[in-house]
Structure 1
Amino acid sequence: MSQEPLIEPSSDAVPPGNVGKRRRSLSSGLRVAFAVAILGALTLTLVNRFEDIRHALSNLEWQQVLVSLGCVALGLFAQWHAWHALLAGTGTSTPPRHTSAQIFFVGQLGKYIPGGVWTLLAQAELGSAHAVSRSRSLVVGSGALGVTVVSGAGVGGLALALASPGFLSTYCWALLALPAGAVALTPRVFNWLVALVLRTTRKDVGDLAVSAKPLMLSALWSSAMWLAFGFHAWVLVRALGGRGDHVGLVTLGAVTLSWVIGIVVIFAPAGAGAREVALIALMAPVLDAPEALVLALSSRALLIVGDVAASTAVAPRYIRAKLTAARRRR
């Protein structure tokens, strides 16, 4: 039986008086410090990889880069909708979509800081300013991450298995993700797993739960995200001379499974290093190692550009809203 979404707890409400003012000041300071840390980590990533990124992109025509970047934008759009579906399914009040986009895309920059939890914490802080409790944000963030992993493993395993009989014998283990994912995305199991994960971090989420419809919608949007990211890489692979009859399927499978591996390696910022190594290995049947390296670095560069562009697009409205709220408090 599907679980109905429950009314979110009000434990995150800001208390009145001086205590509330001190808490708001502390929260604002933490947000500023977090923003500085994000920008520093992102800048360091770009500086450390600048030469490799420049060399990789120089092998591609600008038209191909633009088409691939457009696919990245579609993938990020679908990823946001997968997250928003869970947000809408865990409470009675949901922020407008433009506010939801601000919380998601600005908070997403936290993945460039090693540790694997900064995106969740950033979205929790950003959401708390828009009547979204921190506990609800943690459920949504960790749940969206689980949907991403399950759908990625399923799509990736299926794509590689369908590519050829050889792939089927090599990657038949990945097909186990399909029935396992179907079970994991049932409301009872999904909510239990999310609560278990958050319990290890000593976070109490109360009775928050996700019902079947938001889970299904999130999984569909997440699958659309993988298709868009797979097409983004396929455009690059074609430009690099990918060979074989099933280049598209191999590329889709390699991209999704390497991304899942990058998520699992939580100590790497945005899966840096782990994702590239996995992608190069999985692309071996259709690309030689040098071309696969160019693919990995080019894909990483375009994904960084996409993240920065998305957060930049929504940040001005977020900043204006914060300034307006600060003036009202005065």
Structure 2
Amino acid sequence: MRKVQVLIERAQEALTNSRIFRVALGTTAGTLLLWLAWRYWLDLLALITNSNPVLLCLSIALGILANYITGFPFRLFLAQHGVSITFHTAASLQLAAQIAKYIPGKVWSAVMQAQLSGINRLGSLLVAGIDTSMFIMLTLTGIGVAILIAQFTWLGAIVIGAVTFTAVSHLSSKALLARVVAKFLHKRTQYTFRQYQPSVLGFSWKPFAAAGFLHAIIYTSFVLVLLTATIDFNAQYLLIATASVFLSWVIGNLAVIVPSGIGIREIAFIGLSHAFSLPADTATLASVAMLVRLINLVQDVISAGIVLPAIFFAHRQKKNGSMQF
């Protein structure tokens, strides 16, 4: 417990050192989002009013399922640290932690997961969580680029997708991502992550590839269904819009000091959509970007509302000795 406390203190010190910059950037990003909401709220309202409610509900369900599936790579990354949990537990922890991404600092998702699961390995949870985010970002980047390449050559798109999944899966199976993240965190916090270094090597790359492929299919379905429900694009422009959503999501996540990429993701989507020559004006694109944000928020609230009580109940039952969480 002392080491966990030191880890939290060091992480907090590292965050405090850049507080002014983080607050300034976060405030600017939040202001951008508020400005977009104020400037285009009528367009957003019209977009929601004219959308297909059945497809909107389906997109919410698919988004929740995509977040649930991230428990697959999360469990694999935890196993590299010698932490063994079931897929359902890993997936539930991932759903529960979604709400924590709106709090500045990546450590809070791990803190929440540690408290909910009783796993006394905060460093492992933190690194595995970051590894999972990096894994998803890399695979979605590959899919986004492949979709854009598909406008010119399907063979090239298939090659890009296959190379991306194979490379990312091999890197993940060798725990290389975990080592890089651990070294980065050590530099930021001046804390040695010896006990959090990967303890099991030689994992097969195939489970990682399967996890990434399954998540990509479900997440792509979520975005396609959401866009189909709201905008009238042909198949080509629908795919380009989907790629813009993927890449803007990645850009938003790269802005790690901005909670959930607020404002960054929306501006990136508008910029990328214009760059890719989507036949839509700025008002429509801003409305779509804000709707995606709103749908994500609804997914996170529903997930937390379902998973958190279930985890607390299971944890309570475990203490009573009548159930294993």
In the superposition, the TM-score normalised over structure 2's length comes to 0.71
* Corresponding residue for residue 296 of structure 1: 289
- Give the paired residue count: 282
Residues in 1 aligned to 2:136 and 2:192: alpha-carbon distance in whole angstroms: 21
Q: Deviations over 1:173-201 (max 9, x none)?
A: 99996787466435153343132223223
The 5 Å alignment of 1:1-330 reads 52=41, 54=45, 56-91=47-82, 93-94=84-85, 96-127=86-117, 129=118, 131-164=119-152, 181=168, 184-185=171-172, 187=174, 189-200=176-187, 201=189, 202-206=191-195, 207-209=197-199, 211=201, 213=203, 216-284=206-274, 285-288=277-280, 289-321=282-314
* Corresponding residue for residue 20 of structure 2: none
Per-residue deviation, 1:264: 0.4
Q: Secondary structure at the match of 2:70?
A: helix
Per-residue deviation, 1:62: 0.9
Give the superposed CA RMSD. 3.9
Unpaired runs of 5+ residues, structure 1, are 1-9, 14-22, 24-43
Q: Secondary structure at the match of 1:283?
A: helix
Residues in 2 aligned to 1:184 and 1:70: alpha-carbon distance in whole angstroms: 31
Which AA in structure 2 matches 1:145? S
Residues in 1 aligned to 2:147 and 2:201: alpha-carbon distance in whole angstroms: 28
Residue pair 2:104, 2:259 contacting (<8 A) in 1 also: yes
Q: Deviations over 1:108-153 (max 9, x none)?
A: 21111133443233334434x1x35122212311211221122122
Q: Secondary structure at the match of 1:208?
A: coil
Per-residue deviation, 1:260: 0.9
Residues in 2 aligned to 1:275 and 1:291: alpha-carbon distance in whole angstroms: 15
After superposition, the Cα gap between the structure-2 partners of 1:180 and 1:287, relative to the gap in structure 1 and judged at 3 Å, is: farther
Residue pair 1:187, 1:210 contacting (<8 A) in 2 also: no
Per-residue deviation, 1:267: 2.1
Residues in 2 aligned to 1:217 and 1:298: alpha-carbon distance in whole angstroms: 33
Residues in 2 aligned to 1:243 and 1:312: alpha-carbon distance in whole angstroms: 34
Percentage identity across aligned positions? 22
Residues in 1 aligned to 2:116 and 2:309: alpha-carbon distance in whole angstroms: 14
Per-residue deviation, 1:82: 2.4
Residues in 1 aligned to 2:310 and 2:240: alpha-carbon distance in whole angstroms: 40
Which AA in structure 1 matches 2:59? S
Per-residue deviation, 1:310: 1.4
Q: Deviations over 1:56-102 (max 9, x none)?
A: 422312112112222212212222222223224432642x4443344
Unpaired runs of 5+ residues, structure 2, are 6-29
Per-residue deviation, 1:54: 4.9
Residues in 2 aligned to 1:317 and 1:12: alpha-carbon distance in whole angstroms: 29
Residue pair 1:85, 1:215 contacting (<8 A) in 2 also: no
After superposition, the Cα gap between the structure-2 partners of 1:175 and 1:248, relative to the gap in structure 1 and judged at 3 Å, is: farther
Residues in 1 aligned to 2:108 and 2:256: alpha-carbon distance in whole angstroms: 10
In the superposition, the TM-score normalised over structure 1's length comes to 0.70
Residue pair 2:64, 2:299 contacting (<8 A) in 1 also: yes
Residues in 1 aligned to 2:233 and 2:279: alpha-carbon distance in whole angstroms: 7
Per-residue deviation, 1:249: 3.1
